[in-house]
Amino acid sequence: MRIGVLGAGQLGRMLALAGYPLAKNFVFYDMSGSPSAGLGEVIIDRDGRYLDDFLSRVDRVTYEFEHLPVEVAEKLAQQRPMHPSPRALQVCQNREAEKTLFGRLGIPTPQWRIADSAEALADVARELGCPVVAKSITEGYDGKGQAVLRTPEDAAEAWRVIGHPRVIVEQFVHFTREVSIIAVRAEDGDVAFYPMAENVHHEGILRYSIAPAPGLSPQVQQEAERYIRALLNDMDYVGVLTLELFETEHGLLANEMAPRVHNSGHWTLEGAMTSQFENHIRAISGHPLGNVDPRGLSCMINIIGEHGDTDRILALPYAHLHLYNKAERPGRKLGHVNILADSYEELVWRVRNCAQFLPGSPEFKSSLTARG
Amino acid sequence: MRIGVLGAGQLGRMLALAGYPLAKNFVFYDMSGSPSAGLGEVIIDRDGRYLDDFLSRVDRVTYEFEHLPVEVAEKLAQQRPMHPSPRALQVCQNREAEKTLFGRLGIPTPQWRIADSAEALADVARELGCPVVAKSITEGYDGKGQAVLRTPEDAAEAWRVIGHPRVIVEQFVHFTREVSIIAVRAEDGDVAFYPMAENVHHEGILRYSIAPAPGLSPQVQQEAERYIRALLNDMDYVGVLTLELFETEHGLLANEMAPRVHNSGHWTLEGAMTSQFENHIRAISGHPLGNVDPRGLSCMINIIGEHGDTDRILALPYAHLHLYNKAERPGRKLGHVNILADSYEELVWRVRNCAQFLPGSPEFKSSLTARG
């Protein structure tokens, strides 16, 4: 089976590495250069002229990024089985549609409102109580189009910075930690859930994911499973879906979802019986899902900006290095290291030991280190 | 780093899958078609005209099969770092050189003699005591050039069948089981040993490998490590080396070695902290070796001739499927399944359960099943 992947970044690369042992071949379609080159044919198409050529070479289509124009996705889906569906893409591209769906399915979120003018933004900020965060309802690659309002008087400036005719305004949440759940749904409707991960961000970039999340109660895991199952079934979704949540004293609040394999699931490469990448390939190919049980405890450390001392990392007996073959650049995800351990105490020690060889890594702070 | 691989079969394919996450790229050189295509550039060169072209595209050279002409290997090694060295290749290609080296290093083997005529073969068969097995001292791809002598009178016919001017004659061994040890040596001389595997052959083809070998005593493991360490150091070897042995009531006897990753080490993909493929790439690239500790108990089942019921295998929660993307053909290795378990009892049950979906698999017999 020939699988066409829209996008050719590290996610596509890891999908291919997981798919070759299942006798899949890969063709990548991208609008720019690519780190996946070498792992399959890559069609670089700046003008959208080679979509038909791409389609003629593949049996099924998937994507590794959610910013694909929905019209393009729909056109492709008419000609080849495409998973996840254009509808999933559409919902995930629009924060208003996403939050509306969460609400309809009874998935709690931080309070939110829509504003379509600077004046409306000021009113909404007043109603929700500052600080609030305002975001354009659609988002580009770069994560721009966001502003924090400390007071309602910030509205005019925020409106100008965002530069979008429709914004979503969200109340700040006092969360204990950020978590995510990754699930996969097969063509026949079978669903499997990975144990939730605890995610540590720094300067807006994911730095560490610990899985299973320390101190995770079965109730919280089940709550998250209920939410993501509702989403999967409602969208008749096939493939891997990621839901990012806040854990609060009053339960989970959904933040956003991604219709794809996710950075907070990279730990599954060695940390689970079947990786998120293999399970996505299984699902979109019509195969049964793989076992999602964890293998010990894992922490993923992102390699950001600089590669650090690769040979020191390779010499650690509990570390698994995954490089994306990209050039160094500040803020860029260059790879990740998966750390394995049998206890959280050991995990903390190992993560800190490894992080010293990664100059860009912030100090490791998590629910584990907060405990003392 | 660009790694050139001589040969483009499933071993090269799995080397590449392990090497991409270490930011290596691959160019394959083969004299026929290839199942690795898609994982890197493949140079098909029936006449040996493109070797320079191949070399110009790579930083280091390795090989995935040991039947490369030594002159070619030496020419390549003059121009690029090549691991394992042409010397290792030379020894492994010649059964007389191999057994002589075993003897010089104090590694016990079954008794053997050289014969250079039908008459000498008859004399040697008489001396060793029939049955004996006679083999041409050099071997081609196909494993031909062997004959069993039930009586010394079989010598003339055996000599004709083998059709080679120099044969090695080996005494039959009453072994308990066949085992192998896989070790890896780094550029700086560091050596790591995987736990030994028990190997089950059927009709001359490896069918099952169980690792760590059931009932393996630390003394036997250490004995095998001593032998393979002597070989690695004597050949100043860099990369993965495999030594196949017979376990007998009187200790281990070396059978033969292979200067490469080996079918009896495929269990390391999920069954060890670092796979044999990754460790070979680490070694030949000058990186530190990876941890060779096992992760639970493993059994590898080869998929021979027919693919069987792939979806039933994928549905097993303890099985990992690795396909080579090859067409079905009797006796051909099409892939393998790695089965994981926490006890040997569970492992036996799981292997039998999986094997029922592989029509070509012989009944699972091993030291585990022999016990009852």
What is the per-residue pLDDT across B246-296, written as a single tens digit (0 to 9) for each? 999 999 999 999 999 999 999 999 999 999 999 999 999 999 999 999 999
Contacts of residue A236, defined as CB under 8 A and 6 or more positions apart, other chains included, come to A85, A87
Note whether A194 contacts B: Cβ–Cβ < 8 A: no
* Cis amide prior to B212 (ω within 30 degrees): yes
Q: How many CB atoms lie within 10 A of CB A250?
A: 8
**Which residue does chain B place closest to A317, by CA atoms?**
B291
Residues B214-230, mean pLDDT to the nearest whole number: 97
Mutation site, B2, B14, B20, B277, interface A, largest A CB count within 10 A: B20
The region of weakest confidence among A137-141, A358-362, B76-80 is A137-141
Find out whether B95 is annotated in a ligand binding site. Answer: yes
In this model, does residue B115 exceed pLDDT 70?
A: yes
The C-alpha of A141 sits at a distance from chain B's nearest C-alpha, in angstroms, of 25
Query: What end-to-end distance do the CA atoms of chain A give, in Å?
Result: 51
Residues B127-149, mean pLDDT to the nearest whole number: 84
**Structure tokens of A349?**
């020690």
DSSP state of B249: T
Note whether A2 contacts B: Cβ–Cβ < 8 A: no
The C-alpha of A282 sits at a distance from chain B's nearest C-alpha, in angstroms, of 9
Residue B317: name the closest of A295, A309, A170, A301 by CA. Answer: A295
CB-count burial class (<10 Å; 0-12, 13-18, 19+) for A327: exposed
Residue B14: name the closest of B206, B314, B281, B292 by CA. Answer: B281
Asked if A318 lies within 8 A of B21 by C-beta distance, the reply is no
Asked if B26 lies within 8 A of A20 by C-beta distance, the reply is no
Query: What is the pLDDT, as a whole number, of residue A371?
Result: 58
Mutation site, A39, A275, A336, interface B, largest B CB count within 10 A: A39
Asked if A288 lies within 8 A of B21 by C-beta distance, the reply is no
Asked if B311 lies within 8 A of A288 by C-beta distance, the reply is yes
Band of residue A10 on the pLDDT scale cut at 50, 70, 90: very high
Residues B317-338, mean pLDDT to the nearest whole number: 96
Query: What is the pLDDT, as a whole number, of residue A113?
Result: 97
Judging contacts by C-beta atoms under 8 Å, the chain B residues touching residue A273 are: 317-318, 340
Q: What's the count of helices (H) and strands (E) in chain A, helices before strands?
A: 13, 17
Query: What is the pLDDT, as a whole number, of residue B34?
Result: 64
B290 vs A293, A314, A335: nearest CB: A314
In tens, the pLDDT along A318-343 reads 999 999 999 999 999 999 999 999 99
Band of residue B372 on the pLDDT scale cut at 50, 70, 90: very low
Contact yes or no for B65/B6 (Cβ under 8 A)? yes
In this model, does residue A360 exceed pLDDT 90?
A: no
| CATH of the domain spanning A111-171, picked from 3.30.420.40, 3.40.640.10, 3.40.50.620, 3.30.1490.20 | 3.30.1490.20
The C-alpha of A22 sits at a distance from chain B's nearest C-alpha, in angstroms, of 6
In tens, the pLDDT along A71-122 reads 989 999 999 999 999 999 999 999 999 999 999 999 999 999 999 999 999 9
Judging contacts by C-beta atoms under 8 Å, the chain A residues touching residue B310 are: 287
The C-alpha of A314 sits at a distance from chain B's nearest C-alpha, in angstroms, of 6
In tens, the pLDDT along A264-285 reads 999 999 999 999 999 999 999 9
**Which residue does chain A place closest to B275, by CA atoms?**
A320
Contact yes or no for A121/A115 (Cβ under 8 A)? yes
Average pLDDT taken over every residue of chain A = 94
Quote ipTM for the complex.
Answer: 0.94
In this model, does residue A34 exceed pLDDT 80?
A: no
Asked if A21 lies within 8 A of B322 by C-beta distance, the reply is yes
Asked if B325 lies within 8 A of A293 by C-beta distance, the reply is no
Instruction: Tell how far CA A367 is from the center of its chain.
Output: 21
At B327, the amino acid letter reads: A
Average pLDDT taken over every residue of chain B = 94
Task: Name the pairing type of β-strands B60-63 and B2-6.
Answer: parallel
In this model, does residue B140 exceed pLDDT 70?
A: no
Contact yes or no for A305/A331 (Cβ under 8 A)? yes
Contact yes or no for B290/B277 (Cβ under 8 A)? no
Query: What is the pLDDT, as a whole number, of residue A65?
Result: 84
Q: How far apart are CA A59 and CA B309, in angstroms?
A: 21
Note whether B71 contacts A: Cβ–Cβ < 8 A: no
Query: What is the pLDDT, as a whole number, of residue A39?
Result: 85
Query: What is the pLDDT, as a whole number, of residue B47?
Result: 84
Domain boundaries, chain A: 2-82, 111-171, 177-370
Contact yes or no for B273/B298 (Cβ under 8 A)? no
Find out whether B173 is annotated in a ligand binding site. Answer: yes
Class of domain B177-370: alpha beta
Which CATH architecture does the domain made up of A2-82 adopt? 3-Layer(aba) Sandwich (3.40)
In tens, the pLDDT along B340-367 reads 999 999 999 999 999 999 998 999 999 9
Alpha-carbon torsion, ordered B91, B87, B333, B282, to 10 deg: 140
